[in-house]
Amino acid sequence: MSLASLRRAARETVSGLPREFWWLWTSTLVNRLGGFVATFMALYLTLDRGYSATYAGLVAALHGLGGVVSSVGAGVLTDRLGRRPTLLVAQASTALSVALLGFMHHPLAIAAVAFLVGMASNASRPAVQAMMADIVRPEDRVRAFSLNYWAINLGFAVSSMAAGFIAEFSYLAGFLIEAGMTMICAIVVFLKLPESRPERTAAEKAADDTGLGTVLRDGRFMGVVGLSFLIALIFQQGMVGLPVAMGEAGFTPADYGLAIAVNGVLIVVLQIPVTRYIEHRDPGRLLVISALLAGYGFGLTAFAGSVGVFALTVCVWTLAEIVNAPTQTSLVVRLSPVHGRGRYQGMYTMSWAVASLVAPLMSGVVIDRWGAEWLWGLCAVIGTVAGIGYGVLMRGLPSEDPAQEASPAKTEVKAA
């Protein structure tokens, strides 16, 4: 491909998206540039504090439990109070709780504050995703979600490489840097992002019966939520199972940081061109392929014995992530009613939060009792089950009708 073609492709990828989207994108990027704690938390607890893999899994599980508690509530607040106030409270709370976590030493205190961090950090996800759906046209959403995911992983690629070296210098510095960067995100939201919640007429308000019961009775959507949980259970192992397994095999925090950085680097390089390829393809087929790649990508980790081989396995499941993330997020919006986006996004977010709760417990117990090889084999099984599930669930998916969408221009504008 010529340089001119690359320039044209890049211009087409970023053109046509509203200014508010780019401020939200900037906030996401800044947040992920400072995302050190999740990368080194397992190593901090096992290597620096001397706790077992099971305790590290317990702390990570409590972090996930906090997300479970807050996800649906944050979705409701996103619909009732608005996207912007929910996002502001979540980000400011995250900054304060992450800073506090760095000063905790007693095991009970660490566990308790980790729970608070999970609550605060997960509360922003329904608001971000609902706001993005509000301000971006339906035909541009896969591209917009892909660009947002690209920002997440650009930040992750930088922060994961830096995290290993920061950890060798000072774990506390990592906690404080992340807190500061998250507070900067809150400031960007406060100064630059207006409220995006679509306006409703009096008749729409009177007829609106979208509650949590409506979400739970939506069979196809809840099926997507269940399969999302299985996929998230696999991908979580890159943050909880992989560092513990590498640490027990004698690898250093910097080794893990280099291996996992491949994930972010590949997404930065491939996310945009791959999205251009998959943007208008069958989402069901894409989700089946991504589920199988995720499961067997982690399954191959059982055969890794060097940093290079670990990095190669990361390449396989990273391709699954590149395909899955924008496809599944766009599908969730497609299945959500306009004025219930917060609740639907909250339920979807909860699938990842529950996976954050279950995955650490699963990896800690399996590694301690049977060894890491059994964990990677289990990932392959889960990926196969998820692939079959997507193949069945996505049959007869109704076509998207942009005419039923609220216009992005008809939103509340409540600037700071």
pLDDT digits (tens, 9 = 90+) for 207-222: 455 666 777 888 888 9
Residue 9 belongs to some domain of the structure:
no
Containing domain of residue 293, as a range?
A: 19-197+214-395
Q: Kindly report the pTM of this predicted structure.
A: 0.71
Residue 202 belongs to some domain of the structure:
no
Residue 181 belongs to some domain of the structure:
yes
Mean pLDDT per 10-residue section of the chain, whose length is 416 residues: 58 76 87 73 76 79 80 81 88 90 87 88 84 83 83 77 74 84 88 79 51 77 92 90 83 82 82 78 88 93 86 92 87 80 82 82 84 90 94 73 45 36
The backbone region for 211, taken as left when phi is positive above 0, alpha when psi lies in -120 to 50, beta otherwise, is: beta
Residue bearing tokens 């919640």: 197
Residue 414 belongs to some domain of the structure:
no
The domain tally of the chain equals 1
Q: How far apart are CA 127 and CA 344, in angstroms?
A: 11
Residue 11 belongs to some domain of the structure:
no
Q: Which of 249, 244, 398 is nearest to 331 (CA)?
A: 398
pLDDT at 11: 67
Q: What is the CATH number of the domain that holds 384?
A: 1.20.1250.20
Q: How far apart are CA 212 and CA 225, in angstroms?
A: 14
Q: How far apart are CA 232 and CA 237, in angstroms?
A: 9
pLDDT at 399: 59
Radius of gyration of the chain (CA): 20
pLDDT digits (tens, 9 = 90+) for 365-395: 888 888 888 999 999 999 999 999 998 888 7
pLDDT at 206: 44
pLDDT at 251: 82
pLDDT at 400: 56
Residue 376 belongs to some domain of the structure:
yes
pLDDT at 402: 46
In the structure encoding, which two tokens stand for residue 390, read together? Answer: 């997507």
